[in-house]
Amino acid sequence: MGSNGGGDGAGFNTDALEGVRAILLKPSESLDESTRIAGPDFNDAGLGLAGMLGSLASTGFQASHLGDAIDVVNQMLDWRLSQEKPSVECDEAELDPKYRESVKCKIFLGFTSNLVSSGIRDVIRFLVQHHMVDVIVTSAGGIEEDLIKCLGPTYRGDFSLPGALLRSKGLNRIGNLLLPNDNYCKFEKWIMPVLDQMLLEQSTKNVWTPSKVIGRLGKEINDESSYLYWAHKNNIPVYCPALTDGSIGDMLFCHAVHNPGLIIDIVQDVRLMNDEAIHATPRKTGVIILGGGLPKHHICNANMLRNGADYAVYINTAQEFDGSDSGAHPDEAVSWGKIKGSAKPVKVHCDATIAFPLLVAATFAHKFHGAN
């Protein structure tokens, strides 16, 4: 032990020193080497996107959460029924290995409207185009913004643009995006004849529901840049119980003044949505939810009816301290039975415009393009 020149050591108790040592230099438990922190090495010219994505898990903080989320989504994509032991009551057909190899995880994708206003709409379109997700839940803006983008573009703006000035120029601001009023006028012009036609087709046998309306709109827009077009084409249901809470609602309102009678049945849709979860078995279910609000809750609630989703990834910026559902961590959902206790859910605290493209690149896109 080193001396600190303390003369004859009077007043310097060896025991006390030992005590201090024990506190300051407490021997540490050894940690698993695989959890060592290391970021991407940009000295490596060949690092590329794949290399950088691979380094996320070991970078720490939310990058690590994103790395974990990538793992969970890859598990969702890789899971097959053949990995599970056959259940006791299953019938002959379910024992067939070929069948079991073909049964995949059912993926619910939820997102808020602002993400559709952003360029994330194009990432969503990629997923829907290639039938990589099975059920979509969003809010009203998540429907109309996709359609409107086929009629007129959204522009880059700035969070600090003054509201009164924008109003005078007929520009609507969503964060740092700008949507000209003209786009909504074009949407009005486009949708009114469709609503007229829908009213004519309405009957006691053919009642419209939000998902049917959305399917029809996806068919009518007939534009490959629209995710709703692909959802219609690939028969992927899009649920939106609050369809009236957006420009579509304004259009329905104005339409009803001149041409009343259109009925949109949300009860039918809640049955369908819950059935998506209940009848998913023997498939496992996975939820990928961007943002909070209605889409987040609606998906989790449906999964509660099957005693919880097997995989869950949340990407949002909401906090739990106010008790909001939007900010609630996956573990809160476990308490409700919305996510299985045996699941390993991940929440990435990050703006989805950053995290989601990275997530898709490392999972869906990676598998789609092969391991090039």
Partner 1 sequence: PSIRPSLPLRLVSTTPLAPGEQRPLASPDPPENPVDFEFSGGSSEMSDTDEHHFESKADSGASKTYPQQAGAIRKGGHIVIKARPCKVVEVSTSKTGKHGHAKCHFVAIDIFNGKKLEDIVPSSHNCDVPHVDRQDYQLIDITDDGYVSLLTESGNTKDDLKLPTDDVLLGQIKTGFADGKDLILSVMSAMGEEQICAVKEIGGG
Q: Which residues bind partner 1 (CB under 8 A)?
A: 170, 172, 181, 184-185, 187-189, 246-247, 250-251, 253-254, 257-258
Residue 126 or 190 having the CB closest to partner 1: 190
CB of residue 149 vs partner 1: minimum separation in angstroms? Answer: 15
Residue 144 or 269 having the CB closest to partner 1: 144
CA distance 20 to 32: 28
CB of residue 181 vs partner 1: minimum separation in angstroms? Answer: 5
- What residue type is 126 in one-letter code? F
Nearest to 70 by CA among 55, 80, 81, 83: 55
Residue 98 or 258 having the CB closest to partner 1: 258
- Locate 127 and state its tokens: 């997923």
Residues in the chain: 372
Report phi then psi at 137, rounded to 5. -130, 130
Active site residues: 338
CB of residue 156 vs partner 1: minimum separation in angstroms? Answer: 20
Helix, strand, coil fractions of the chain, as percent rounded to 5: 50, 10, 35
CA distance 338 to 349: 20
**Residue 177: count of CB within 10 angstroms of its CB:** 18
CB of residue 318 vs partner 1: minimum separation in angstroms? Answer: 25
Residue 176 or 181 having the CB closest to partner 1: 181
CA distance 313 to 330: 8
User: How far apart are the two ends of the chain, measured CA to CA in Å?
Assistant: 58
CB of residue 317 vs partner 1: minimum separation in angstroms? Answer: 24
Residue 264 or 334 having the CB closest to partner 1: 264
- What residue type is 238 in one-letter code? V
SS3 (DSSP) at 285: strand
In the numeric block, the tokens 């010219």 are attached to 45
SS3 (DSSP) at 174: strand
SS3 (DSSP) at 220: helix
CA distance 92 to 69: 36
CB of residue 294 vs partner 1: minimum separation in angstroms? Answer: 18
- Rg, the chain, Cα only: 26
Residue 40 or 180 having the CB closest to partner 1: 180
CB of residue 163 vs partner 1: minimum separation in angstroms? Answer: 13
User: Under a CB-based contact definition with an 8 Å cutoff, are residues 120 and 356 in contact?
Assistant: yes
Nearest 5°: the CA angle 358, 360, 362 is 70
Residue 189 or 279 having the CB closest to partner 1: 189
